[in-house]
Copies of this chain bind each other. A is one copy, B any other.
Amino acid sequence: MRILIPGGDGYLGWPQALYLSGKGHDVLILDNLQRRHFDLAQNFASLIPIYPLQERIAAWKEISGRQIQFCIGDVTDYEVISRIFREFQPEAVVHFAEQRSAPYSMIDRRHAVFTQTNNIVGTLNILYAIKDFSPDCHLVKLGTMGEYGTPNIDIEEGFIEIHHKGRSDVLPYPKQPGSMYHLSKTHDSHNIMFCCKVWGLRATDLNQGIVYGVETDETVLDPRLATRFDYDQIYGTALNRFCVQAAAAYPLTIYGQGQQTRGYLNVRDTIRCIELALLSPPREGEYRVFNQITEQFSLIQLATMVAEQGKRAGLDIQIAHFANPRVEAEQHYYNATHRRLLELGLEPHLLSGAVLDSLINLAVRHRERIDRSLILPTVNWRETTNEVTRRES
């Protein structure tokens, strides 16, 4: 299958590209290197060293014998997208090329506007390119479980049957996104659903949970194939960050009460889920939504698991509650359905002690690279100017 991967140089895009290339697919990465630029501008860095895209691709060729193509360009530029569609004629697009940090989107007005316009325009461009050049192409779009917020009823997969005043309908599941970033994904979802309806496009919208881990069968083959491991306040997600804090003898920072519950999954499952979606594409005109999670945990549960595992490894671990920089419910019901990927054949890698141990060990091995000044949150949801603003042009 010819698969275009916008955002294929990122945390998840890169292992996805490796995996699909390894399965014999013809992969083309499109990336504007925006995530690397942020690191340069802010002096942030991945805990694990990552190599330039060209070196990654060369290493993969050397090791696997397979060629990944790439293009440095921006999905918001329709000339770039349309040229790639004409020349490469993708049969599927796995679209990771979005600004993907909630704190980034809440830095200030400029970052909010960038997040929403970048994400919306990029996705619209891909939808129009599919319609114009390759109408059977399957769009696999990375959404987020954060689109749903924390409703007091079970979260279903994209749609819900509603009974109301003696009538009923199956309608899009109501969305209560919790940041300018999560809002952008909600906007995307509505746009994609519409294009499937009016143009008969095929799309899978993956409402993904919080991904942890960096090791896949491919990324471990050579240090040059590593993907990034973010632990900073802008891009670091809860479990990865806790493991780094454990390694650095830094208290595990829980925002607020810590009963915030979310869906999680291992990076190995992310890439397998996307393969499963690609292998069973939707019908013409079908917009389908999968909740891409395997388990759910509260922050307290995660921190406790990391602390216990770390102690076994001889680390001295404290848990500290920190004033919540976000505006969110800290005590809430949460039960998210996630059946459809299991039905397609997903066999989850659950969060075992061994997995935690390997993540903590990874952080310990790279301990000297931890910049403690990057950990504590400075972006407060209640403010419209934040420290990062002043450091970035």
Contact = CB atoms under 8 A, between A and B. Distances in A.
B121 A113 contact: yes
B190 A183 contact: yes
Nearest to A333: B167
Nearest to A116: B120
A187 interface: yes
Copies of this chain, how many? 2
Contact of A173 (B163, B174, B199): B174
Contacts of A154: 164-165, 167
Interface in A197-217: 197-199
A68 to B, nearest CB: 28
A160 interface: yes
A168 B191 contact: no
A172 B174 contact: yes
Contact of A175 (B164, B168, B190): B190
Given A132-B384, A176-B171, A198-B382, A124 B153 contact: no
B109 A125 contact: yes
A124 B109 CA distance: 8
A153 B171 CA distance: 10
Contact of A165 (B153, B179, B183, B381): B153
Given A172-B175, A177-B194, A194-B177, A152 B124 contact: no
Interface in A110-125: 112-113, 116-117, 120-121, 124-125
A323 to B, nearest CB: 15
A67 B309 CA distance: 72
Interface residues of A, number: 50
Nearest to A197: B327
Contact of A199 (B164, B171, B179, B382): B382
A109 B173 CA distance: 27
Contact of A153 (B153, B168, B327): B168
Contacts of A180: 191, 194
A128 interface: yes
Given A117-B121, A190-B187, A163 B163 contact: yes
Contacts of A199: 382
A266 to B, nearest CB: 28
Contacts of A272: none
A131 interface: yes
A249 interface: no
Contacts of A167: 152-154, 333
A194 B197 CA distance: 27
Contacts of A187: 116, 120, 183, 186-187, 190
B190 A78 contact: no
Contact of A162 (B117, B132, B162, B178): B162
A167 to B, nearest CB: 5
A186 B186 CA distance: 10
Contacts of A120: 116-117, 120, 187
B132 A124 contact: no
A178 B176 CA distance: 21
A353 interface: no
12 contacts: A109-B125, A112-B124, A113-B121, A113-B124, A116-B187, A117-B117, A120-B120, A154-B167, A183-B187, A187-B190, A198-B381, A198-B382
Interface of A: 78, 109, 112-113, 116-117, 120-121, 124-125, 128, 131-132, 151-154, 160, 162-165, 167-169, 171-180, 183, 186-187, 190-191, 193-194, 197-199, 327, 333, 381-382, 384
Given A154-B167, A174-B174, A186-B190, 14 more contacts: A116-B120, A117-B117, A117-B121, A151-B171, A152-B167, A153-B162, A153-B168, A160-B164, A171-B176, A177-B190, A177-B194, A179-B194, A180-B194, A186-B187
